[in-house]
Amino acid sequence: GAVVSQHPSRVICKSGTSVKIECRSLDFQATTMFWYRQFPKQSLMLMATSNEGSKATYEQGVEKDKFLINHASLTLSTLTVTSAHPEDSSFYICSAVAGRGNEQFFGPGTRLTVL
């Protein structure tokens, strides 16, 4: 089956630093990748849709200057949390869609803790 990796799996950083999270499709080309955030006991909330070679589309309420998304190739999308603050502490998870299908393949997620 299709495999999506996400790195790092866990990160602890100081307030004010920037953190980059990578999402890679290992055995297929992903035309679209999604970034989600999940707070404890809540749903996966879509943050942005990332399409290769174009700007990401952000959901309402998500600051594009704070959550920088780069989809540089068909196998890699990155999410950079800039100037992280404790309220950014959350579980971030990406997914990738192959071709024109609508099936998502998820990464294992990244637990971000901002001190």
Partner 1 sequence: ILNVEQSPQSLHVQEGDSTNFTCSFPSSNFYALHWYRWETAKSPEALFVMTLNGDEKKKGRISATLNTKEGYSYLYIKGSQPEDSATYLCASEGSGKFYFGSGTKLNVKP
**Interface ranges with partner 1 (CB under 8 A):** 4, 34, 36, 41-46, 49, 59-60, 93, 102-109
Residue 30, beta-bridge partner list? 98
Minimal distance in Å, beta carbon 50 to partner 1? 12
Backbone angles phi, psi at 86, to 5 degrees: -50, -35
Nearer to partner 1, 39 or 83 (CB): 39
- Round to the nearest angstrom and report the end-to-end CA distance of the chain: 37
Minimal distance in Å, beta carbon 60 to partner 1? 8
Nearer to partner 1, 58 or 78 (CB): 58
Nearer to partner 1, 14 or 40 (CB): 40
Distance CA 82, CA 65 (A): 8
Distance CA 96, CA 107 (A): 8
Minimal distance in Å, beta carbon 6 to partner 1? 8
Minimal distance in Å, beta carbon 17 to partner 1? 25
Tell me whether residue 100 is exposed, middle or buried, using C-beta atoms within 10 angstroms of its C-beta: 0 to 12, 13 to 18, 19 or more.
exposed
